[in-house]
C-alpha cells in the first residue's frame, strides 16, 4: 500500500494509503460464567491461605486506581493493590482484612484471586502495639 512519487532533482516522497477494506472486530469483555450468582474467591499470601476458591457474593479491594468492588460477571482485569482494607462479603456476613499491597486478578469465569504481600484480619490488629512500634522506630531514626 505504498506509492512513490518522484520529482525531478528531489528524493522520492512516500505516500501511505489505507487498505480498501478494514476488517471489523467485536470486543468481548467476559464470557458468561456457568454460575452467574456467585463469585469464586482466593485470598492467599506467600505463607497463608485465607480463602481458597470459596463462593462469596462480592469483595471490595483497594486497587491502585481506587477502591473497587468485584462481583460476578465483572470484566476481566488485573490490578496492583494498595495498602488498605479488603472486605469479603458472604452470605454469613463480611470479613475484613488489612493488606499491605500486592496483586488482584479477575478472570472471565467469575473467579477472583487476591495475592497480597501481607494480610492480617482487621480484628487481630492491635492499635496500641502499632503505636509503640512506630514510636520506637521514630526514636531509632532520630538517633541515627
**C-alpha 82, offset from chain centre:** 10
Question: For residue 111, what is the enclosing H or E element?
Answer: strand 111-116
List the one residue out of 99, 8, 88 whose CA is nearest residue 56.
Answer: 88
Burial of 21 (C-beta count, 10 Å sphere; 0-12/13-18/19+)? exposed
Cross-strand partners of 98 = 85, 120
What does the pLDDT profile of the chain (144 residues) look like in tens digits? 444 444 555 555 555 555 555 455 554 555 454 556 789 999 999 999 999 999 999 999 999 999 999 998 888 899 999 999 999 999 999 999 999 999 999 998 889 999 999 999 998 888 888 889 889 999 998 887
Amino acid at each position: 500500500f505504498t506509492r512513490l512519487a518522484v520529482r525531478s532533482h528531489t528524493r522520492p516522497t512516500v505516500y501511505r494509503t489505507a487498505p480498501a477494506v478494514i476488517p471489523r472486530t467485536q470486543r468481548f469483555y467476559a464470557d458468561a460464567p456457568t454460575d452467574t450468582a456467585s463469585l469464586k474467591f482466593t485470598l492467599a499470601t506467600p505463607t497463608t491461605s485465607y480463602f481458597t476458591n470459596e463462593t462469596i457474593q462480592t469483595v471490595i479491594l483497594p486497587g491502585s486506581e481506587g477502591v473497587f468492588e468485584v462481583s460476578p460477571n465483572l470484566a476481566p482485569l488485573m490490578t496492583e493493590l494498595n495498602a488498605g482494607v479488603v472486605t469479603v462479603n458472604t452470605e454469613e456476613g463480611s470479613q475484613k482484612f488489612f493488606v499491605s499491597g500486592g496483586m488482584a486478578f479477575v478472570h472471565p469465569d467469575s473467579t477472583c484471586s487476591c495475592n497480597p504481600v501481607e494480610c492480617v484480619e482487621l480484628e487481630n490488629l492491635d492499635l496500641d502495639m502499632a503505636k509503640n512500634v512506630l514510636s520506637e522506630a521514630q526514636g531509632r531514626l532520630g538517633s541515627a
